Chains A and B, each alone.
Chain A
């Protein structure tokens, strides 16, 4: 986790010299590392991309922006990641006794889930895959309801324990799904 990123999430200047705040951020980073139990799942699928859609087998994701992002890819990687249920309990615990810490923890957890996703990408890259940018349901014109398709293709609920509400919110709340294009033609 990056302290400056956490401060940015808190809309606080990274240049702050408020010792109390900085030590609270450090304390929260430690507590997050102690508490979370990240779980991830990835799966590579063959795909076809048109001008406004990405198709994996019979599943179609409709979005021009997504189609641009994975343009030219014959394969995509679907990613699911979560920090686990304890992170929500942590937030709930502190929100009854220490609201400042709750807000900082929230930012630290947001930074942590990004870190977990990044490290999955690093691993895939180390295995020789050339990856494009992560793209998630809810970005631009990819409707948030497309989330159900990723859940189904990855069997996310069973495999990493993330569930989806009727309103498309993921529980545990610190969870991410994404579609990542793979460049098979790119030479290094």
Chain B
């Protein structure tokens, strides 16, 4: 019988009891008072702890300039007890992008420094009190890539059982198991009583050994001091209950003392370390949620893909991420569970674009993504920064394909789409495709990848070129499901290529495939017939109690009351987005796009702008009109691209919120208005370093730069950016933002002051007209 092993308890509380003041950095004591730290370690060792946690929770380069020294000393102090040393790594105290301002690779570097300094001497690496999945991913990669030590990951969930950045237990587990964590656990935040149900849920979610280190109860403020309210006996009796759930490691966090750990060891040392056998499931996750590819089919949205899509191609060429985000949001809205992301165009840098698309989609969407590229470099770039456990699209039975993809899937953790083809092409029969699938499963095993991490694409062949094509595909889906016990996926629409009324064929084929066991369909969720077929299938198959999903998704949408205005100009002035788009689309059938713009859209915008400046309408109304105008442009744009009559853009403007400033709504408002007036806006986002602004100005040969700053603390960065631009280019700079005034703008040498968004538009118009 393997017994439970014990971690030590709180360090901070012990140090505070020995005189550490609030705000003092405990890690410095490893060098200034090592004997004090050793005495705490020793007390825990004597109390029966098997693992001594190094005093390095906050020892990172954001707080210290001598991390290596601190960490090395800490490891040797823990080792001196003769027990195993756990190299302790806490969160960095900064949030990663997109929520915060820290780059993923910077976080990785900070964690790597600690790992490198502490790996000699440590027995395990303990990442603890983690509250953000992306930060955990950076930490696990840093630990794994810079050491061969086991990596334990312990998280702090709140009482709603979520991490601070939104992940539920299953999502965090899914990502960490994929990344190859060696044990998983919870600590801090709560006492053992509140932690019990969380531990129980975690036990059901993970196949890994489990660690539970609670606080000594909930913190209470007494006379300005934080105290914890659970005595050693009560602590230990709760821990006994937690132990019975099946854990491998137990210890304490804030407020626990050697007495707590002593009692814990006394109460739990005869309880066996236990790991229930959890069945393997096929799971993909985002930063906050998990999708199971299981018995009920799921929808993978196919629309983020330039193949055959003019607007998507144009967006990719123009680096227009917003277009991609819109496609993503629309598919989520229509019921997609996972989104395929393909940005492959010959003329773009695919690794860069893929990384950017995945990052941007994940900053607004909680759906898991399927990274779709044949470029292994782009695949790895995206998998590395992906927040969660992604899907890979795809590998096939060719040796070189498996050699390129499986190491990535094994390292980062991903569910891989496997195409049933190899060097000889696609076998005509189902049996031929099964043979390839078997080979793929065997090869994956060599990389340590279980077949539950694979999803097989039996490949939909065009039915118009072979009467049995669909039959063989459906048969392959059934055989894969029943004989190989694997999950399946199909790109559905290929089946109808070359036929009239393709949707009729697609929907029937989709239904048949689901009936044969299909686990996931890669389809267009914006196609109503396809989604109707999906909901109908679920209802007919007993997957939809009371047909509730069917009814709520398929019900006839109440037709919007017949548009009360048919005039595009009025629709824009009144900020009626849908009507504006409809009017514009209708008009574009008989009127040239450019004519619509100059005779209707621009006059409407002028009228609204004037009324805003006269204060007869207000900012939200101005913006509603701006959104309507934008919708109208988009409605006529596809036709204009096709006709080769794209609107000529009237001047390039680089926009950025300055370095250190993370508030960008004002800048975004300015962007939308400038775009409405036909300016070619290069939006660099927020927290943009001066060199990046300069680089964009030079690269685009832009005449104007718009900079925004919200707080006094970021005005120096604005000034620095202006100086750099003036020194290196002839571009003029407009500044704006909450903290800016005309006087201030002059002081920092700006060329123009944009008091509000309309004023900025006016300045840009004047600048480019002369």
Contact = CB atoms under 8 A, between A and B. Distances in A.
Interface of A: 10-13, 16, 18, 20-21, 24, 37, 39, 42-46, 56-59, 84-86, 88-89, 91-93, 95-100, 102-104, 106, 138, 144, 149, 152-153, 155, 157-158, 161, 163, 165-169, 171-173
Interface footprint category on B: 35 or more
A62 B341 CA distance: 53
Contacts of B95: 85, 163, 171
A91 B672 CA distance: 15
A92 B574 CA distance: 25
A178 B711 CA distance: 18
A89 B363 contact: yes
Nearest to B627: A100
A98 B164 contact: no
A100 B660 contact: no
B165 A100 contact: no
The secondary-structure label for the interface of chain B is: loop
A99 B576 contact: no
B439 interface: no
Contact of B221 (A11, A37, A44, A161): A44
Given A91-B665, A92-B98, A169-B663, A161 B224 contact: no
Given A95-B665, A167-B661, A169-B711, A104 B620 contact: yes
14 contacts: A20-B576, A37-B160, A58-B21, A85-B95, A86-B166, A91-B665, A93-B365, A95-B665, A103-B669, A155-B22, A158-B188, A163-B100, A165-B662, A169-B711
B477 to A, nearest CB: 36
A100 B618 contact: no
A16 B623 contact: no
Contact of B713 (A42, A85, A92, A169): A169
Nearest to B630: A99
B576 to A, nearest CB: 7
Contacts of A89: 98-99, 363-364
Nearest to A25: B620
Contacts of B664: 95
A37 B627 CA distance: 29
Contacts, number: 149
Nearest 4 Cβ contacts at the A-B interface: A167-B660, A100-B623, A161-B164, A12-B618
Contacts of A138: 711
A168 B711 contact: yes
Contact of A99 (B226, B672, B717): B672
B104 to A, nearest CB: 16
Contact of B326 (A97, A106, A149): A97
A163 B62 CA distance: 13
A13 B710 CA distance: 24
B684 interface: no
B575 A20 contact: yes
B618 A97 contact: no
A41 B419 CA distance: 53
Interface in B516-546: none
B224 A21 contact: no
B507 interface: no
A99 B618 contact: no
A33 B64 CA distance: 40
A168 to B, nearest CB: 5
B624 A100 contact: yes
B279 interface: no
A20 B364 contact: no
Contacts of B508: none
Nearest to B715: A167
B668 A18 contact: no
Interface in B303-343: 321-322, 325-326, 329
B552 interface: no
